[in-house]
Amino acid sequence: MHMLKEGTKTNQSKVGNCFHLSKSPMATSSSVSFLCLLLFLSPLLLNTVHGNPNYKEALLKSILFFQGQRSGRLPANQQITWRSNSGLSDGLLEHVDLTGGYYDAGDNVKFNFPMAFTTTMLSWSTLEYGKRMGPQLQEARAAIRWATDYLLKCANAKPGKLYVGVGDPNADHKCWERPEDMDTVRTTYAVTPSNPGSDVAAETAAALAAASMVFRKIDPKYSSLLRGTARKVMAFAIQYRGAYSDSLGSAVCPFYCSYSGYKDELLWGASWLLRATNDAYYSNFLKTLGADDQPDLFSWDNKYAGAHVLLARRALVENDKSFEQYKQEAESFMCRILPNSPYSTTQYTQGGLMYKLPQSNLQYVTSITFLLTTYGKYMKAKRQTFNCGNLMVSPNSLIGLAKRQVDYILGENPIKMSYMVGFGPNFPKRIHHRGSSLPSLASHHESIGCDGGFQPFFYSSNPNPNILVGAIVGGPNQNDGYPDDRSDYSHSEPATYINAAMVGPLAFFAGLEAH
């Protein structure tokens, strides 16, 4: 709310300037009205001349969103002020402190599998694009640290145990209540040597390893703790093999089942530890994993393409020929995405949006867009091109496609809808999100029980009372349509992993504007 009001203030000051101008003895009425018109239109003209949304504003908001997802005791500098402390007894049932971290989407559960992926992507964004983030670099680090502080607790609370979630999802999904009022049981879930979870453990290791590089220079002690814990958790993932879905069943399925198996996480985790430590153990381990799947998407569940791009960096940027196979795999992934490639397996809507799956499609769009931007950046640094059959692909082919996806999400689409809440004049007002759709504690002191939020709030056609600034929702359907309906969660629910992947491309394009 506060963020949006600031924009209106600047327009008021422009009105004031015009008023003072008209009193100047030098001003003619026509020059005043022309100047006034320019003052009013300047932001609009800037947008239309370049056709570019304001990437800096979108970057700021995309990171601010994470404050709305915070669990635990909120800090004094919390900017999304309709949120309050929540989940303060998390871990109590097990006599451990598991407070903190993020709610994954519109619910009040902490699922560590997508949370760790979110953290890895925020860290990767910061490592690749931190120099382009300007004042948002500090905010990105704070968003990462909010997650890593929690993930460290999960990894170090009890020997031989990695906590991987808090809150019974089946009980939680029957309720519509604010996180501050939660009265569902805060069950804790863990993987152990006898109930393994190589996927969630390796993703946690990836998150801690990637974040260790973010803090390497500014907080070496914290960085070292992250790196050491990442090694330990990765060793656990490698030694005790198994899918966490098999170990935890209905606590994670169908919500965040590991559909792609755990080999992709072992690849991803080892790739990040290799980058963070340069330890040959991890490059040798990568070789033992054998041939990889060739996916045409990248997500919190399927990490192959991300690992291929990350490892291709060694071949492309560092000229290490032993990583050539990953460069080829990364390029073959790009050939499946590019719309004019003879090997493309990717659908596009009429408005130009990549369309992968009907459920929360923008999660795939933002993640793939991150890979397009990043691989394009690696290619540009070495002036490289590659071919998809007879199509020659330049860095700008990838970056241009990435830009079209980012611009579409920010409002350059057939219905002129920005899919980032609080960005642009037209954005989703009825998002599927408990805290946003229910009145805040400040405006409604009484507790809202498990069922209390459905009537009159969930089923209301009124816009949500609290604006979750920066949230990117599941997005439009394959016909570029968006009903803006709270109950249509596959289109109207935001999620941390949708936003985390968008931070890098936004920083990239915001940085281009600055140069």
Encode 479-498: b = buried (16+ Cβ within 10 Å), e = exposed: ebebebebebbebbbbbbbb
Cα–Cα dist 240/124, whole Å: 27
Residue with tokens 């947008």: 47
DSSP-assigned letters across all residues of 405-455: HHHHHTT-STT---SBTTSSSS--SS-S-HHHHS--TTT--S---TTTTII
Single out the residue of 324, 328, 326 nearest to residue 343, CA to CA. 328
Given the residues 199, 329, 331, 493, select the one marked as catalytic: 493
Per the annotation, the verdict on 20 as an active-site residue is no
DSSP-assigned letters across all residues of 327-375: HHHHHHHHHHH-TT-TT---EE-TTS-EE--SSSTHHHHHHHHHHHHHH
Per the annotation, the verdict on 173 as an active-site residue is no
Q: What angle do CA 279, 283, 285 make, to 5 degrees?
A: 110
Helices (H), 27-111: 29-50, 55-68
Beta bridge mates, 472? 420
**240, 193 contact by CB (below 8 A):** yes
Cα 183 to chain center, whole Å? Answer: 28
Tell me the three-class secondary structure of 114-163, residue by residue: HHHHHHHHHHHHHHHHHHHCCCHHHHHHHHHHHHHHHHHHHHHCCCCCEE
Per the annotation, the verdict on 246 as an active-site residue is no
Given the residues 94, 484, 485, 488, select the one marked as catalytic: 484
Paired tokens of 435: 């805290």
Paired tokens of 228: 């050491």
Beta bridge mates, 393? 386
> How far lies 146's CA from each of 4, 31, 165, 494, in Å?
25, 53, 16, 19
- 3-state SS class at 510: helix
**What is the sign, positive or negative, of the torsion defined by CA atoms of 144, 119, 366, 75?**
negative
Tell me the three-class secondary structure of 184-251, residue by residue: CCCCEEEECCCCCCHHHHHHHHHHHHHHHHHCCCCCHHHHHHHHHHHHHHHHHHHHCCCCHHHHHHHH
Given the residues 90, 139, 432, 491, select the one marked as catalytic: 432
**Residue numbers annotated as active site:** 432, 484, 493
